[in-house]
Homo-oligomer: A and B are copies of this chain.
Amino acid sequence: MSQAPVTERASAQFADPFAVLTADMAPATASRFSALLARNLRRFPAGTGIVAEGEQAPQIMFALEGWIALNKSLEDGNVQMIDLILSPDIIEPTSADGQISAYDLHALTDVAISTVQRRDLDGLEISDPPQMWSIVRTRAAIARARVAEHTLRLGQGSAQTRLAYVLLELCLRLGGAQDARTRAFDLPLTQQRIGELAGLSSVHVSRTLRRLSRQGLIDASESRRIAINDIQGLARIAKVELDVLRNELFATDV
């Protein structure tokens, strides 16, 4: 941890994120799990580092609230956002040794997470079959698929394709958009950060967003907010099949 986190007791406003993860659990396991999360709750204000690349890190982090960037950077300072973490995602930042983080985790907004070690989850496993690890596995599979779609477009897509894909993925992950009729959603990222995600310079993010606007596909006039006007057209440019993407991004079983 590169910043001193704030620890606090379980509070009512986390009923929601807890519920997403405990929905299909046996009640006894669920309550023990909720208690574990509450015990290990950490908060980070927007703009702070959560975990630094190459430093000691918790093995498992439950994203409860806020937007987290999972970054890696080249020696020359160029940053690539590998993935964007939103509740109820689970982050496993350590590599083979289970100790050192392979990634840089950065709070894009105010963030609440719960950090645990693997043995904590083993300690919870009383039901049969073990459900805790099953949940972790499912979230890992979703993250893998998400990163692969992203990587595909970084390697093969044009700027329009990359950006359209990023917007579409976020639209779907935010629940088909907070405002369902207009498919508009808050995007608490500067164009610089969007560029780190899409592998583009901030200048070219600006140009490409305006191009998509001029084509009538999106409305990006409001700052830190995106409205998708033509989701089919955007999917065509992103070179994505919406149904396929939905199946990849959302759990359909435990």
Contacts and interface: CB of A to CB of B under 8 A. Distances in A.
Interface of A: 54, 72-76, 78-80, 82, 92, 94-98, 100, 102-103, 118, 122, 129-130, 133, 137-138, 140-142, 144-145, 147-157, 161, 199, 239, 241, 244, 247-253
Of the listed residues A95, A156, A241, the one surrounded by the most CB atoms of chain B closer than 10 A to its CB is: A95
B247 A100 contact: yes
A150 B138 CA distance: 23
A93 to B, nearest CB: 9
Given A80-B156, A130-B130, A147-B148, 7 more contacts: A72-B148, A76-B239, A82-B151, A95-B142, A96-B251, A147-B151, A151-B154
This chain's copy number in the assembly:
2
Contacts of A130: 130
B145 A144 contact: no
7 contacts: A74-B156, A82-B151, A92-B141, A96-B145, A96-B253, A100-B247, A151-B154
Given A133-B133, A156-B74, A247 B82 contact: no
A72 B146 CA distance: 12
Given A96-B141, A140-B140, A147-B151, A157 B74 contact: yes
- In the A-B complex, list the 6 residue pairs whose CB atoms are closest, starting with the nearest: A155-B199, A80-B155, A78-B156, A95-B145, A154-B154, A72-B152
